[in-house]
Amino acid sequence: MRTPMKNPVILMVDDDDEDIYLTRRAFCESRDGLIFRSVQNSTALFDYLHCRGEFAHNSDVDVPDVILLDINIPKENGFEILRKLRQDDQFGHIPVSMLTTSAAQHDVCKAYKLGASSFICKSVSAKGMKEVANNFCEYWFNFAKLPSTN
Amino acid sequence: MSQAMLNEQIDVVDEQYKDIVDATESFFVRWEAGTAKIISCNQPFADRWSSTVEKIIGKSMYDIRGEEAGDSLRAFLAEIKPGESKTTVFTTRVADGSIRSVRAFTSAISRDGVTTIEYHTNGYDCTEEQLFRSARDSLFTIISDEHLCYQQKLEHLLAVGLEYYHLDTAIVSMIVGDTFEAKCVRSKNSNAISVGTQMQLDDTFCGQFIDSESKLAIDDVSNSQLKNLRCYKISEIESYIGASIHTANGPYGAVSFTSSEARRKPYSTEDLNFLQLIGNWIGLLIGNQEQVEFISHQSEYYQSLFQTVPAMMFLSDADGLIISASNRLCEKIEVDPDLLPGKNCHSAFDIDDKLGLIAALRDGDAQRLPLTFTLPNASYLEVEVNCSIKSVGTLQGVRMVVLTDVSERNRASRSVEEQNRLLETANENLNQFAFIASHDLQEPLRKIQQFSSFLEDDLEGSLSEDASYHLKVIVDASNRMSTLIHDLLRFSGASQEEPQHEPVSLNKLLEEVISELDITIEESEAVITLEPLPDVQGDKGMLRQLFVNLISNGIKYRSKSRPLKITVKGLGADYQEGVIVSDNGIGFEMQFARKIFEPFNRLHRNKDYKGNGIGLAICSTVCDKHGWRLSAKSEPDVGSNFLISFTQ
């Protein structure tokens, strides 16, 4: 057990506003000091990471400690984003956890094969979301070692 | 014997000889070879040269003859070697200018075999004989002439008779009872009776002999026994020769040759012989014709029978040449019946499989060969062709072809096929729709579930009991909807999926299923018995679903009054016939035995037994996909048996 991170950064990649809203709520309630960012698609993600495009005005980027990635994103889906992410020199090391509705085995396998660090199913209940948030934060920000970017 | 005695004897013989010779109608002449002087002859010979015996004797044969005849005589005599004889028939003009035929027998007399001393000739006028022969040959030629029809032959025969007898009218009559009917008339008179004329038999010459003598020949009626008879009075017949005619079928009638002038001489034996002959030939000809007509009528009868049969038929030869076609066929294919016979099927019928039909006709053997006619109005007639070989009359190897109209049947069948296809397409579309719809419905439903849940969480403690209840109902309902959509997805997805084909051990599969349902089995305190099960070919995933559903059902619908027992076992020899899943649960009434397999059809309220009614529908689909049959038997409050049958 190491020292809990003070201000971990989570970046959620999901096209669904409500999902982002509920997930942000659950995670922020679960962890004080958590910085929760979100983008809606592939372009936005890489623009955010590289401070370009709509994020060009950012002086500095809050590099995420973990990325929550949905599968069902239109145009480029989660798998494609994952693949691209893993090939990124700068940010390819960041742990990516799939957070998605589908629990199909073949999606799970595929995700891990493409380099996902974990796979979590979205819950329909408030209780369920909270549980996910608590366990997630506990594991990733209290327990596991994360690659340092600084 | 002295020479004188010898001479005397020769003279006696000569005299005797002469007497014999004189007594015959034959002519006789004897002449010297060298001088051609006539030594002796008889009166008939002299008559030929309109002379007497005394005047002719001593004259040369060449003198009495004349130049041209002399040359031919010389040539003729040259051909006869000494001691030999020759017969000849020649024609000659006699004193009254008429041409006669003569048959002569000439001998060249020689004592030493080297030199001819004298010639003997005897002969007779064979004109009548020749005429007879000639007429007889004509009759035969006419009868056997293939180019003449019956009527022509009959008329030609009568013509020969008329010429032979030198009369002017010939009639062939049919005699039935008392009625005489002229069937064929040949006459030089313009007022001879016409064909078809009927008379009372008694009024005719025929009537006088038909029953008894079978023939009658009167050269001059006015001087005969018949002169007072009615038949003579009403006719203009002065000379008559006629005979009865018989055919193979019996008496027919008579043939008569008559003249309005009396004949100069009586009818001879030859004349009567000829009458017999011509009567026979006519009888034969008529008899033949009767046969031909009979057969023709028969064939006409059968022809008309064939024409009018209420079926589509035709007769053809092995090469497809149409012999005859039924009216019905012609109607149906809209072809003029007169145009078919003599045409080949190839050109006569507008069909889709000409080669097939021709081949079938050649084989002479076809059953239900499908064929489609294109009709003049561009519509189609679909038929099936049956062909067999028959003998028709004298024709061998005739193909009898029967066509059956299958347009309706085909139409109906195609209609059914079409309906089925539409149904299948509709089903597929429906399944696809259900799949997509459920998929798309999931998303908003998830939102409802999530946010109602969060709302509950947010408002915990601050809601009134009623409000709390209201919210709970919303949450429950959305959860149920979620399950429903999930099941719908599974069901329509299952219908879409193609099953895998791999070997599956049902024994192993059932053990896995039981292990999967571990918790529920424990909760329900069910005892599950597995008896030996077969290995099958199929989709493992689908089959797992099948047995999970069946066993879950068994658990779900258990009786409260007794411990649940579920048995799964294989059926038949080597368990290859099927599998049965039986329980001792609440059962159901047999009237619902089919209904329970229909999707969303439930026999209970959701409150009493949870579920959406999809489970058995999915089981049914899985079985269908494997070619198996799923059925159920049950008795309320006793239990249920679900039978998966591998063989239909």
Q: Do B453 and A101 touch (CB under 8 A)?
A: no
Task: Please name the member of B442, B450, B482 whose beta carbon is closest to the beta carbon of A22.
Answer: B450
* CA torsion, ordered A107, A110, A114, A116, to nearest 10 deg: 50
Predicted local confidence at residue B156, as pLDDT: 92
Q: Is 60 exceeded by the pLDDT of residue A149?
A: no
Out of 3.40.50.150, 1.25.40.20, 3.30.450.40, 3.40.50.2300, the CATH code matching B131-293 is 3.30.450.40
Domain carrying residue A32: 9-143
What are all long-range contacts of B95-98, with beta carbons under 8 Å and residues at least 24 apart? B95/B47, B95/B48, B95/B49, B95/B50
| B262-318 residue pLDDT tens | 888 888 888 888 898 898 888 888 888 888 777 777 777 777 787 788 889 998 888
Residue B67: predicted pLDDT:
63
Which residues, numbered 416 to 455 in chain B, qualify as contacts with chain A under a Cβ-Cβ cut-off of 8 Å? 442, 446-447, 449-451, 453-454
Nearest CA-CA partner of B400 in B267, B306, B284: B306
Collapsing DSSP to helix, strand or coil, A79 comes out as helix
Q: What is the pLDDT of residue B68?
A: 63
Could you tell me if A127 lies within 8 Å of chain B, comparing CB atoms? yes
Instruction: Give pLDDT, residue B265.
Output: 81
A–B interface: beta-carbon pairs under 8 A:
30
CATH value at residue A41 = 3.40.50.2300
Out of A22, A101, A122, closest to residue B454 by CB: A22
Is A18 within 8 Å of chain B by CB? yes
Closest CA to B33 of B4, B68, B62: B62
In this prediction, residues B170-174 reach a mean pLDDT of: 92
A28 touching B, CB under 8 A? no
Can you read off the two tokens belonging to residue B647? 């063989």
- Indicate the pLDDT class of residue B4, thresholds 50, 70 and 90: confident
| B-chain residues near A128 (CB < 8 A) | 453
Rounded to 10 degrees, what is the CA torsion of B217, B222, B223, B229? 80
> Is B620 a residue whose pLDDT tops 50?
yes
Of B446, B453, B457, the CB nearest to A101: B446
Q: Pairing relation of β-strands A9-13 and A35-39?
A: parallel
For residue B340, pLDDT over 90 is answered with no
| Residue A3 placed within a domain | no
What residue segments make up the domains of chain B, in order of their start?
Answer: 3-125, 131-293, 309-405, 411-493, 499-645
Give the pLDDT confidence of B366-392 residue by residue, as tens digits.
899 999 999 988 889 999 999 998 876
The whole-angstrom separation of Cα B231 and Cα B229 is: 5
In a domain, A121, yes or no: yes
Candidates B453, B458, B544: best to mutate against A (most CBs of A within 10 A) is B453
Q: Does residue B181 have a pLDDT over 70?
A: yes
Flag whether A26 is in a domain: yes
Minimum distance, in Å, between the CA of residue B625 and any CA atom of chain A: 23
The pLDDT, as a whole number, for residue B132 is: 83
Number of domains in chain A: 1
Q: What percent of chain A has pLDDT over 90?
A: 69
Residue B133 has pLDDT above 90, yes or no: no
Sign of CA dihedral B437, B441, B442, B443: positive
User: CA-CA distances (angstroms) from residue B1 to A65, B12, B16, B17?
Assistant: 183, 15, 21, 22
pLDDT for position B637:
93
Does residue A37 belong to any structural domain of this protein? Answer: yes
Structure tokens at B74: 């010389």
CATH of range B499-645; options 3.40.50.150, 1.10.357.10, 2.60.40.1180, 3.30.565.10: 3.30.565.10
Question: Which class would CATH give B411-493?
Answer: mainly alpha
Q: What average pLDDT does the segment B470-488 reach?
A: 85
Q: Is residue A38 part of a domain?
A: yes
Torsion sign (Cα): B579, B583, B588, B590: positive
pLDDT tens track for B91-107: 877 667 778 888 888 88
Please give the single-letter amino acid code of residue B81: K
Residues of A in contact with B442 (CB under 8 A): 101
Residue in A18, A122, A124 nearest the CB of B453: A124
Q: What is the mean pLDDT of residues B150-156?
A: 88
Are A126 and B456 in contact (CB < 8 Å)? yes
CA distance, residue A124 to nearest chain B CA (Å): 4
Lowest mean pLDDT among B128-137, B311-320, B493-502, B539-548: B493-502
The reply to whether B411-493 shares the fold of B309-405 is no
| C-alpha of B283 from chain center | 35
Q: Which residue in the set B446, B447, B454 is minimally distant from A126, CB to CB? A: B454
Q: What is the CATH number of domain B3-125?
A: 3.30.450.20
Mean pLDDT of B237-243: 89
CB contacts, 8 Å: A25 with chain B: 454
Say if residue B440 is exposed, middle or buried (CB neighbours under 10 Å; 0-12, 13-18, 19+): exposed
pLDDT digits (tens, 9 = 90+) for B583-601: 999 999 999 998 899 887 7
The yes-or-no verdict on residue B66 having pLDDT over 70 is no
Residue A4 amino acid letter:
P
Q: What is the ipTM of this complex?
A: 0.80
B450 CA: distance to closest CA in chain A (Å): 4
User: Model-level pTM?
Assistant: 0.45
How far is B410 from B415, CA to CA, in rounded Å? 8
Query: Hey, are the CB atoms on B450 and A127 less than 8 Å from each other?
Result: no
- How many angstroms separate the CA of residue A125 from the nearest CA in chain B? 5
d(CA A78, nearest CA chain B) in Å = 17
CB contact under 8 A, A127 and B453: yes
- Spatial distance between the Cα atoms of A47 and B637, rounded to a whole number of angstroms: 68
Which segment of B155-159, B172-176, B221-225, B392-396 scores lowest on mean pLDDT?
B392-396
What pLDDT is stored for residue A150 in this prediction? 45
Q: Does A132 reach chain B within 8 Å, measured CB to CB?
A: no
Question: What token pair was written down for B39?
Answer: 């030594």
Q: What is the mean pLDDT of chain A?
A: 90
Average pLDDT of chain B is: 86
Using CB atoms, which residue from B447, B453, B458 is nearest to A125?
B453
The answer to whether B221 and B262 have CB atoms below 8 angstroms apart is: yes
Q: Give the least confident one: B159-163, B294-298, B336-340, B611-615.
A: B294-298
Query: Mind telling me how many Å the CA of B444 is from chain A's nearest CA?
Result: 11
Of A14-28, A116-130, B143-157, minimum mean pLDDT range? B143-157
Residue A71 forms contact with B (CB below 8 Å): no
Residue B452's CB is within 10 A of a number of other CB atoms, namely 22
Q: Choose from B451, B452, B454 for mutation: most chain A CBs within 10 A.
A: B454
Residue of A nearest to B479 (CA): A124
Do the domain assignments include residue A50? yes
Flag whether pLDDT at B1 surpasses 70: no
Question: Which amino acid belongs to residue B49?
Answer: W
pLDDT mean over B465-489: 86
Question: Which of the listed ranges B89-103, B518-532, B595-609 does the model predict with the highest average pLDDT?
Answer: B518-532
* B447/A125 Cβ within 8 A: no
CB contact under 8 A, B447 and A18: yes
CATH of B309-405, one of 3.10.20.30, 3.30.450.20, 3.40.50.620, 3.40.50.300: 3.30.450.20
Q: Is A129 on the interface with B (CB under 8 A)?
A: yes
Which residue is listed with tokens 């007169």? B338
Q: What is the mean pLDDT of residues A58-76?
A: 89
